[in-house]
Structure formats: structure tokens, C-alpha cells
Structure 1
């Protein structure tokens, strides 16, 4: 029986608000999985890099979950690409957590993203416990699908990921597609790669309340609302949503009376270099009266935006899973998304939404316009979307993750005999 797990999330804290900076679906994943484990009586200690001198060294946000804010490098102004140079400091403080306790304090290490995986390989060796790793994104996959304006991931990251794949006791892939990529691109042992889908909080993201949500948000009852939610950066392709809106209005000028395009989120990654680029594009396309930018919001207000929307658009160049798509469907909102990565699992094409090959705004305009102007189709997809999303609860994610943990622990113990 597992008693205590070290959860490593070096470059971003699960307590940060998703949608800004480096905070996104992985943050949701780590905190929701930790909550499920804590509810099952397993103590979770999360290690993340401190980003403010005002953060307490140790914080207990909920019973059974302890967050360690590790001082590693400058508190502010450090970009993700600069973090590898600070890993030695991070490793030192993570290892100290074991030294300050009885031997065998942790039963297992679960690392998230390649930076944490590098730390996890050291902790695995020093603590003599199994390492389970979740990539979330992979350099070789991202480099094969670069968005315009994005820089390629460095060779150092690729080498680091290859090392993690070689040393981890178990790898968790979000989808069968990601499992295939780990095996084919990173030569992972198929026996050590398990598929565990991320989940959705169906208590927060729930259907049947569009009118109520629109009233709270000040959205007109008859609005044809297209929503983009997430980090504003080339990888997520929010520009495709605006360009698709312009195409729709060119084809159907009367739609302008009802069309609303709402972008919820903040600049991130390479998008920080030109934080006003998307707003500037909106002006250039003549969409000033159509587009609304909303800063990053909490989960419950985000659920309101999903519920208020007629359709949610996820045109990313790459997604390891696509939590936005599942959250939107849990709220009963169909999704138009790119046919990439985990989105092919998150969205049932032609049933709960539409998957688009490529990133041609005209193709997105066609799919969006059909959903906006065909209420019967939208309602049919809405009902099926809710049922589809119900199969992705965090309790299911936790149960399957625990099965992977048990396999890792059993194999590790057998290797010691």
C-alpha cells in the first residue's frame, strides 16, 4: 500500500492559475490527480520552483497535499528555457526532503514534464524508489509541428527526454497516439508505457445552463459565440480563430449582428515577445466589434464561458491531450479542433464536434458556421458531448494511475531481490 508520493512539477506550480505564462493543462492535471490520491489516503508532496520571495517554503493547500516551494534561481524573470541551468539547486532541495525524514519517506516519484523528469532520475537513484514519468509534451513531436513564429525545442531537451525514457520505471502517456510516439520516436519499451487519459471535474464543468451563464457574463441570448480558451501563443493558434471569423463574415455578412468571438487567456511562451499581436490582428481584420479579450479566469468562471459558448475552437498545432476540449464538452458545448495529438481522443469527430486537417482558416470557418447556424446539429452534438466527457472523470484517471504505480513498485521490488 502506497503511503507517500513525491510529485515533481519543477517549472510551474499546480497552484498557479491555468491560462497565463507556463500554467496550463499540466497544472490542472497535477493538482487534480493529487486531490484524488489524497482522498484515497495517500500523502502527496509536490515540489515546484518558487517564483516569489513571499511564497512560504512549505504550504498545505488541502489535507493530504503539501507543496514545497523550492528556491532555485531568481524568483522572477526566469524563462522556461533558462530553467535547466537551475536544476542543480532544485535537485539539492528535493533530495534534502528525504534526508530530513526517516529512510523510505517516499514510496515513489512521479515527475511531470522533462525538467522534472531530470530531477526524478536523480531522486530515483538516491532514494532507491521507482520513477513514474508523464511527458505532457515532447520536443520531437513539437519540432515536427512547429507553428509560425515558434522556435524549435533545443537538442538539450531532446537528450534529456531520451534519458528519462531510458531510466523511468514507467511512462504514462495521455493517449494511445502519445504512447506510439514514445515508442517510435524515443525507443521506449512498450511494456513500460501505459495510457492514462487526463480527466475533467464534472462537478465544475457541467451542462444545461447556457442561458444562466450568458446572463452572468453579459452575453446576449441570441449571440453566436465562438470561444477560444488557453494560453495565447503560436502553438495554440488563436490567430486561426480570428481569421476564421473574418472568413465567416465575408461569406455571411448578416452574421455580424450576432457573432461574438471571445478569447480567454493570457500571453505565454513565444507569445510574450509580442503580447498584443492577437489584438493587433483583430484590428487588422476589422473585428473590433466582434472580438472580446478576457484575462485568465478561475475554473468556475471558465466553466461559465464554456457553457455560454455556442462552440469552442481548439486549433492547436499540437496537444498532448487537450483538456479545454474535454471541459467544453462536459459543459455541453461542441468543439471544432485540429486533428492533432490528443485532440483525436478528446473529440469524437462528427459526433461531439469536428476535427479539421491542417490550419486553413477557411476550413475552420466552414465547420464553425455550420454549428453556429444549425441549432439541431448543435443540440445533437451537445448531448453526445456531455456523455463523451463523462468517461473522463478524474476518479478514473486516479484509479488507472494507481495501477501504474503498483506495477512500478512491484517491478522495482522484484529487481532488488
Structure 2
């Protein structure tokens, strides 16, 4: 094993199937991309040498570019530029070989199961135990499968089970860790929980008050797919429109994000549902938002909805909080840890559109309540920044370098 120092370290973050440089809400890019990029920049800001490795594609050409703050993003050639997601497991060996050729690192942290399998050789070559964050636990997703969604295949379940028994699990939430333990048994090593952070300078309350005649904006931000539950948001809006037409005429529902590959039919269903229920004139569909645009959108919203079927964490809820906007979330999985504490009116149990419409109406009718919840949300979020996230990771990486087999 190399002679190691606690700091600075040479750190490899691995994100095989999607590039942290991609715009969240497009393709397969989502919260994981934000987490990897945020961690990389904060680790580099702390003085570490950080490289994020991803697979070269038409969206991420082979080579190395800056990810910001001194962190680098290197895209390695492994197979054709364009492949379907279900073909990626077959490219793990060639990506793993290319990764192992990058030299030795003081820490190797893989994100998502494909990255975990690919990073094993690099970790062995470096003489460190690999860290693995699954982000979405296949066993949990299958238990909470959204209507119209496809179950995760046995290959992925087996891969995640093997990684939980091999690497150092770093979960995004206690909920994610419980899902791993329930689905695959207790991890071989005591797992760690490191909540994602938020850029509270970028995601902050709007500096200019909105016009008094501006519509009450309800926003759903993220990839368009059954898992994220945009259909429930539309059903709640349709219920609200039927129950209180006057209030609904003062609202607009914004659904920002693009369909993941294979979810194009679901995206069409959303538009058809809006038209069929007569609410389409108050619904706007926006493309994926880059970080600055997402921050502006959340700050300009009155309520953010997060109606996902499951979330390892639920980063949008934390980003909305940083923007000073109440986030109405599904009361389950990692969303309970991402959402601000002490605000039961911001959690909805179950998937009854009527319950969501009622919770939404309560917030929309009471500007003072929204303002109070927004201030509390901002206070909750500012202490959960990426530098604190990186400090926890640094301690974990140093311990991994010292642990015996």
C-alpha cells in the first residue's frame, strides 16, 4: 500500500453511466449528477486532487475538462458513443480496465451500481477499500414500483447485493441504508450516512418581490418518468381546479424536465391528461434546467411539489428550501430527511390526489403561512452545504485507507 497522508488526497469519483457535467433533468441526469459534481468541487476546494471519471459519449467527449474549483472530469472511451442503458453492464469490463490504467488513488468512491462494479479493480490496484453510494436501491424501487414503470432486472439486484457485501456503503440517507439492509442484508462494513448538500449561495430566495398579479406558481422539477410522479401532480391540480376554480385560475403548474430514455410515452400521457381534464391552459412544460435556471425557477415558485414514489434523498426538496420556497413532499423514504423538520403540513401520506390538492390549497390560500415556512426552510438548508458534505467524505476516505481487509 502507498504511504498515505490524511490530506491532501488523490480522489477518484466514478460515475460511469451519466456525466456529472450533464444538465440535471435531461437524459439519465438527475440528483446523482448534482451530488457527484457538488462533492467533487467541495473536495477540490478543500485542497484534494479530485477527478471524476465517466464514460465517453456523444454528450461527454473523451478527454478531460474542468468541473470547477480545480476538480476535473475525465471521460474514458468504453464502447460506442451511444448505447442503451440496458447495454451498459456489458461495457463495465472495458471501462474498468480504462479506469484501472489511471494510476493509484488514495480514495475511490463509486456512484451507482455500474460504477461500483467498474471501480473494484481501481480500488484493488490503489490498495484501498472502495466506497459505494447506490443512490437508487433497486430492491426498494421494485417494492415501490410506479405504475407503468419496469422493474429493475436480477442482474442489477445481484450487483448491488455484491457491492453491499464488498465495499464501504456511504448512503445518502438513513432511508437508503434501511432499503439496502432490507433488500440485501446488513453491509459487511458499518455503513455511513452522508446527506447531500446544497449550494445556498446559488439557491437562495429571490432578491426582488414578485408582481402582485403574478400567478401562484406550483413547480415540479426533475426528470420526467413514472418514478418521479408528475402524473400525481397533474391529478392534484385537476382536483384543485374542480374543487376551487377561482383559486386554480390564479395558479400555474410548471413541470420542468425532460423524459428519460424510454419515458417518452409517459411524457405524452402527462400532456394528454392536462388537455383531457381541462387544465392545460394553466400548465407549462419546460425543458431541463441548468443549475442557475433551476435556482431561479425554485425561488420564483410559491410551492414546490415532490410527489416521487421513492427517493434515496430528494435533493429538489433541499434546494427548494434553500430558495426559501416550501416543498410539499411525499411522506416516505429519503424525502423525510431532505424536507425541513417540524412542518407536518409539508408532508402528504399516500397518493390520493384529493389529499395532495387539500395540502396544496392550504398553502396557496395562506401567503403568511408560505412566508413563515419559507423562512424556516431557508434556515434549515443553509447549514447543509457541500463543504460540510465533503468534510464527512474526507474522514470516511481516510479511514478506508487505513482499514485492513
TM-score by length of 2: 0.94
Change (3 A) 1:206 1:407: same
Distance 2:60 2:279 in 1: 41
Which 10-residue stretch deviates more, 288-297 or 315-324?
Answer: 288-297
1:85 and 1:48 map into 2 onto residues whose CA distance is 15
Q: Tell me, what secondary structure is at the counterpart of 2:102?
A: helix
9, 13, 17: which one aligns with 1:7 = 13
Change in CA separation of 1:37 and 1:132 when aligned onto 2, cut-off 3 Å:
same
The residue number in structure 2 matching 1:161 is 160
Change over 3 Å in CA distance of 1:74–1:301 after alignment to 2: same
Does the Cα contact within 8 Å between 1:335 and 1:352 map onto a contact in 2?
A: no
Deviates more, 1:108-117 or 1:38-47: 38-47
8 Å contact 1:183–1:190 — kept in the other structure? no
Distance 1:54 1:292, change over 3 A: closer
TM-aligned CA deviation for residue 188 of structure 1: 2.5
What SS does structure 2 have at the residue aligned with 1:72?
A: coil
Cα distance change of structure 1 residues 14 and 70 upon mapping to structure 2, 3 Å threshold: same
The Cα shift of 1:259 comes to 1.1
Q: 1:276 is paired with a residue of what secondary structure? A: helix
TM-score by length of 1: 0.91
1:327 equivalent to 2:319? Answer yes
Where 1:392 maps in the other structure, the secondary structure is: coil
When residues 353 and 391 of structure 1 are mapped into structure 2, their CA distance, relative to the original with a 3 A threshold, is farther
SS of the residue corresponding to residue 205 of structure 2 reads: coil
TM-aligned CA deviation for residue 210 of structure 1: 5.8
Shift, 1:256, TM fit: 3.2
Mapped to 2, the partners of 1:48 and 1:379 lie a distance apart of 41
Alpha carbons 1:207, 1:331 under 8 Å: kept? yes
In 2, the alpha carbon distance for the partners of 1:64 and 1:279 equals 42
Match of 2:268 among 270, 273, 276: 276
Q: CA deviation at 1:350?
A: 5.3
Within 2, Cα distance between the matches of 1:167 and 1:193?
Answer: 11
Superposed displacement of residue 68, structure 1: 1.7
Structure 2 equivalent of residue 108 of structure 1? 107
Give the CA deviation at 1:25: 0.6
| Runs of at least 5 residues in structure 2 that lack an aligned partner in the other structure | 1-5
Q: Following the alignment from structure 2 to structure 1, what is the Cα–Cα distance between the partners of residues 12 and 180?
A: 24
- Of 191, 199, 202, 1:201 maps to 199
Aligned residues: 399
Given the superposition, is the C-alpha separation of residues 161 and 155 from structure 1 closer, same or farther in structure 2, using an over 3 Å criterion? same
* Structure 1 residues 59-104: Cα deviation after superposition (integer angstroms, max 9, x where no partner): 234353222211222212x222221011111112111212xxxxxx
Give the Cα separation in 1 of the matches to 2:93 and 2:237.
47
The verdict on how the C-alpha distance between 1:63 and 1:323 changes in structure 2, with shifts beyond 3 A counting, is closer
Corresponding residue of 1:174: 172
Q: Once the two structures are superposed, what CA deviation does each residue of 1:296-350 show, in whole Å capped at 9, x if it has no partner?
A: 1221121111111110000000110011000001111111111121100111365
2:332 pairs, out of 340, 344, 359, with 340
Q: Which residue of 2 aligns with 1:286?
A: 278
Using the TM superposition, give the Cα deviation of residue 23 of structure 1 relative to its aligned residue in structure 2, in angstroms: 0.3
**Secondary structure of 2:54's match?**
strand
SS at match of 2:200: coil
Query: Does the alignment pair 1:411 with 2:403?
Result: yes
* 1:24 corresponding residue in structure 2: 30
1:285-324 correspondence to structure 2 within 5 Å: 285-324=277-316
3-state SS, counterpart of residue 253 of structure 2: strand
Of stretches 345-354 and 262-271 in structure 1, the one that deviates more from structure 2 is: 345-354
Q: Partner of 1:127 in structure 2?
A: 126
Displacement of 1:389 in angstroms is 1.0
2:86 pairs with 1:81: yes
Question: Cα deviation per residue 1:154-213 (whole Å; 9 max; x = unaligned)?
Answer: 000010001111111x211111222222233222347520111000000000124362xx
SS of structure 2 residue aligned to 1:226: strand
Distance 1:61 1:136 in 2: 21
